[in-house]
Structure 1
Amino acid sequence: MAIGSALSVGLLGLRPFVIQTQAFVSPGLPHFSIVGLPDTALSEARERVKSACQAAGFRWPETRVTVNMSPASMPKRGASHDLAIAASVLSAAGAIPHDALADTIVLGEVNLDGTVLPIHGLLPIMLHARERGVRQLIVPQANEDEAGLIEGLDVVCVRHVGEMIELMGGKASYDQSSKSCVSGRSEAGTFVSPPMGDMSEVVGQRMTKWALQVAAAGGHHLLMTGPPGSGKTMLASRMPGIMCPLSSDEQLEVASIRSLCGTLPQYGITDVPPFEAPHHTSSTAALVGGGSGLASPGAITRSHHGVLFMDEAPEFSTRTLQTLREPLESGYVALSRSKGSTYYPARFQLVMAANPCPCGFAYGTGERCVCKEKDRIRYFSRLSGPILDRIDIQVEVPPVERIGTGTPQGEQSSRDMRRSVILARTAARERFARFGWSCNAQASGEWLHKHTSDKAIALVNRALESQRLSLRGADRALRLAWTLSDLAGRVSPGYEEMNQGIMLRTRVS
């Protein structure tokens, strides 16, 4: 009995699991089967692997070939296991030594001519391999930059199945003009972050900039309402530039999501928070994630540890907006599909922008507005009470009445604002160090209430009694007060900070 084996790694969402691929070459009529809950793309590997191995000079067995992928109860998907299937068959047939792939993870899609194609999700797989103590990996040459992002692994990059056969001690016959270089211990890759605008480029809007700074310092959600052309989109797009740099763990989380989505080569591992701005015609699946079989990440997952900007928020469908309610509270999204459930992280800062009415001119005296009253009500009613209650900061963005000439003078830069945000976040992180909270938005409401002065709490209670705030709104105002206290360099919020926190909560009616 000839059995060959190789290791691969599958992904359920962002959760990796090791797959042992075993090939059994047995007597019988020529037949090639793959078992172990493969999806359609993986089942089609039969034709790809057979042709690729023959292109490398291997004579395919004219007998029965069975490939099992265990654990058999876990669904396997995608073509990233092609190379592991080929390696197990080659090992079973004696083309490579049986122990050559011991403790080695093999990843890659193969083409009919034997070339190895790149895969998505390599970064979380490599992190999982390092955690399990597996140091040897064979990956596609096209994933070389991504493979170099994680240190401490022995990574071999290949372009052709024949190259893998030779590396494992076998003999192959193929076109070696594209033979790759073998790298030992991987070195960190380098990428260039995309350019980002500066807050000093936005004329005026000092109140809104201050609100954005408060949001960045405390991890608060924000809604801006104002007429077209007042600078809402410009301000939101510059928010990542004033946020705290991502920690090492957060960088790897964000990079793993981008690797799964296939966008990591555009960013690499960077400390700049991600920024996602889905169009208002986006479907619910595009926002929260979807797809057949197992769900893929949506915009809220791609904005994990960053900003999700929803421009023209009332133009999003009501159903799409309502799906934000649970992720805003829990920090993750659970998606159930026919082949299983996936959990994706979704701890993002929501920034919304909206016009005051469909035509956009219902501000000031409202003389230019041509909307009917029922249209105005219908327009803003899509932002339901439960959604607005979860938005910590709600500010109006007035039109800019005059601009200067030349370079704007006296405008605060993103660097200066970021410095204040970092100081405020550092104070909060030190205060909550033993609890594991990194900002006021994550802190326990009970703890914040217990350590807030009676005078400040009395102000919140008056707002509750007058129904200016709901109970959730009072909790959010309390968190805002602590953030304002951190920005001011104070130990705890007083009457003034609490008053400003309530004002930031109730500016939009």
Structure 2
Amino acid sequence: MRIGSGMSVGLVGLRAFTIQAQAFISPGLPYFSIIGLPDTSLTESRERVKSACSATGFRWPETRVTVNLSPASMPKHGSTHDLSIAVAVLDAAGAIPPQSFEQVLTLGELNLDGTVLPVAGILPALLHAREQGVRRAFVPYGNREEAQLVPGIETVPVRHLGELIEHVGGRAKYHLSEQSTQSLADTTQITSSASSSKQLDMAQVVGQEATKWALTVAAAGGHHMLMTGPPGTGKTMLASRLPSIMPPLMEKEQLEVASIRSLCGDLQQYGISDVPPFEAPHHTASTAALVGGGSGVAMPGSITRAHCGVLFMDEAPEFSPRALQTLREPLETGRVFLSRSKGTASYPARFQLIMAANPCPCGFGYGTGERCTCSPRERSRYWSRLSGPILDRIDIQVSVPPVSSLLSSSEKPRQTSAQIRSTVTQARSTARARFAKEGWTCNAQASGEWLRKETSIQAISLVNKALEAKRLSLRGADRAMRLAWTLADLDGRTSPTAEDISAGIVMRTRLQ
């Protein structure tokens, strides 16, 4: 009895696990079965694998073929495992030299003619394989650029199952049609940085110096922010330029972001980049689109794609209350857990939330309000969607007034994003050094216990007064102190003063 084997990697969310595919050819009526909790798409691989193997000149056994995917307790999904199943069957039938694929990873989807099609999730799969000591992997030719991003593991891109057989010393008869070759070769190359695209710059925004400063504080400390103002004042322009003043992503963060994009199939568009991601879902987005969803194992939503970056919610009060409430847990924990019938997927979701809103449904309820056509009831209903628990998690609230002039002789030269980023990076470096033992990277992650211990008694007394006056909740008090520490970092002080605490309280409660 000979049992053939192949190796693949499965993903539940971003959690990877090794899959061993074992094939056994036994006497009996012709039948091909796959066991080990496969989903529908993986069960359908029986026909893909059988046809693809026949396309290489392999004579499919006229007996019973059983393939087991272990561990049997873990759900497997997708077409990523087609190649490893084919390898296991070929090994069991003696069509390739024995043990050719021992400790060798094989990933890819098979077409009926034997061509190997690209799949999503190659990057996190290879990163896991490298951690497990795998040093060689066969990947689809269409994923070759993505696979080369993982050092320390030899990747062999293949266009056809026959190429893989020949690569290990087997014999195969196959033909790659001109159309198939062209489709496989026509892939977008992955760049190592997103700097090739046109960069947005803060200098492009006219006026709004107060809001720019608030965004600088938000970027330096990782704080959430709400901008309120009439239409056309530049709220969306300002928010879209926040990534341009944020510190570059560290190597670990770059890999996390790239792994998420690989799982979503977007890595070829962005590549490995140190620019924080920016996600701006439409206000009609469903809860599943925002936090993730789908049948079987849930896929990432906008909050996961914004990990290590910015989630911008324009027209925030127009989002459904249910969608807004789902943000509460990720804002606190930095992760989202999605339970479905076939397992629970956990995704990272540590993002900066930037909200923008009009002062009322018509947008003109500012100043004297003479142009506003909204009734008090309509205004109340509009703002009631942003519940108290959500607003309590917003560190900075700022008004964005209309710009009175396009050109001003007294206007100072506008700061560029590069200049602001330099200030932000210095402040963030100070915070990272301060929190080195705690494992935090910015002030927004500091615990309340640490803040109450390290902040001066004089500064905390101001927070106590705000608590007694009901201007702050206990959560709001911690967030005000975090803002104070960020203001101190920006000004080069080792700890916040009473003035920093006062400014932090004002920035939190300006719109209340």
TM superposition score category, shorter chain reference? over 0.9
Give 1:196 shift: 2.5
Q: Could you tell me which residue of structure 1 aligns to residue 192 of structure 2?
A: 190
Q: Could you tell me which residue of structure 2 aligns to residue 470 of structure 1?
A: 473
- 3-state SS in 1 of match to 2:445: coil
Q: Is the 8 A contact 1:191 1:266 kept in 2?
A: no
Spell out the pairing of 1:380-395 with structure 2 (5 A cutoff).
380-395=383-398
Residue type at the aligned position of 1:294 = V
Q: Could you tell me which residue of structure 2 aligns to residue 433 of structure 1?
A: 436
Give 1:2 shift: 2.6
Q: Could you tell me which residue of structure 2 aligns to residue 54 of structure 1?
A: 54
Q: Is the 8 A contact 2:310 2:354 kept in 1?
A: yes
Query: Cα deviations across residues 381-414 of structure 1 (Å, max 9, x unaligned)?
Result: 10000000000000010011110189x8611111
Q: Which runs of 5+ in 2 are unaligned?
A: 182-188
Q: Could you tell me which residue of structure 1 aligns to residue 131 of structure 2?
A: 131
Residue type at the aligned position of 1:500 = A
- Which residue of the other structure, out of 217, 220, 231, is the alignment partner of 2:234? 231
Residue type at the aligned position of 1:444 = S
Number of corresponding residues: 502
Query: Cα deviations across residues 5-49 of structure 1 (Å, max 9, x unaligned)?
Result: 000000010010000001111111111110000000000001001
Q: Could you tell me which residue of structure 2 aligns to residue 183 of structure 1?
A: none
- 3-state SS in 2 of match to 1:273: coil
| Partners of 1:218 and 1:402 in 2: CA distance | 31
Cα distance change on mapping 1:307 and 1:214 into 2, 3 Å: same
Q: Is the 8 A contact 2:38 2:76 kept in 1?
A: yes
Query: Cα deviations across residues 127-182 of structure 1 (Å, max 9, x unaligned)?
Result: 111111101100000001101111111110000011111012110001157799xx
| Partners of 2:6 and 2:99 in 1: CA distance | 10
TM-score, length of structure 2 as denominator length: 0.96
Q: Is the 8 A contact 1:258 1:264 kept in 2?
A: yes
Give 1:205 shift: 0.4
Cα distance change on mapping 1:483 and 1:190 into 2, 3 Å: closer
Give 1:453 shift: 1.7
| Partners of 1:23 and 1:451 in 2: CA distance | 61
- Which residue of the other structure, out of 284, 293, 298, is the alignment partner of 1:295? 298
Q: Could you tell me which residue of structure 2 aligns to residue 184 of structure 1?
A: none
| Partners of 2:47 and 2:437 in 1: CA distance | 56
- Which residue of the other structure, out of 446, 450, 453, is the alignment partner of 2:453? 450
Query: Cα deviations across residues 82-112 of structure 1 (Å, max 9, x unaligned)?
Result: 0101111011111101210011010000001
Q: Could you tell me which residue of structure 1 aligns to residue 27 of structure 2?
A: 27
Q: Is the 8 A contact 1:31 1:65 kept in 2?
A: yes
Q: Could you tell me which residue of structure 1 aligns to residue 171 of structure 2?
A: 171
Q: Is the 8 A contact 2:190 2:268 kept in 1?
A: no
Q: Could you tell me which residue of structure 2 aligns to residue 496 of structure 1?
A: 499
| Partners of 1:405 and 1:369 in 2: CA distance | 29
- 3-state SS in 2 of match to 1:139: strand
Q: Is the 8 A contact 1:150 1:188 kept in 2?
A: no
- 3-state SS in 2 of match to 1:8: strand
| Partners of 1:453 and 1:171 in 2: CA distance | 76
CA RMSD for the aligned pairs?
Answer: 1.6
Residue type at the aligned position of 1:28 = G
Spell out the pairing of 1:72-111 with structure 2 (5 A cutoff).
72-111=72-111
Q: Could you tell me which residue of structure 1 aligns to residue 243 of structure 2?
A: 240
| Partners of 1:376 and 1:216 in 2: CA distance | 31
- Which residue of the other structure, out of 309, 313, 317, is the alignment partner of 2:312? 309
Residue type at the aligned position of 2:192 = T
Give 1:189 shift: 6.0
Residue 212, structure 1, aligned to residue 181, structure 2: no
Give 1:195 shift: 2.5
| Partners of 2:3 and 2:18 in 1: CA distance | 19
Q: Is the 8 A contact 1:148 1:188 kept in 2?
A: no
Q: Which runs of 5+ in 1 are unaligned?
A: 181-186
Residue 377, structure 1, aligned to residue 380, structure 2: yes
Q: Is the 8 A contact 1:148 1:189 kept in 2?
A: no
- 3-state SS in 2 of match to 1:441: helix
Q: Is the 8 A contact 2:191 2:270 kept in 1?
A: no
| Partners of 1:365 and 1:504 in 2: CA distance | 23
- 3-state SS in 2 of match to 1:245: coil
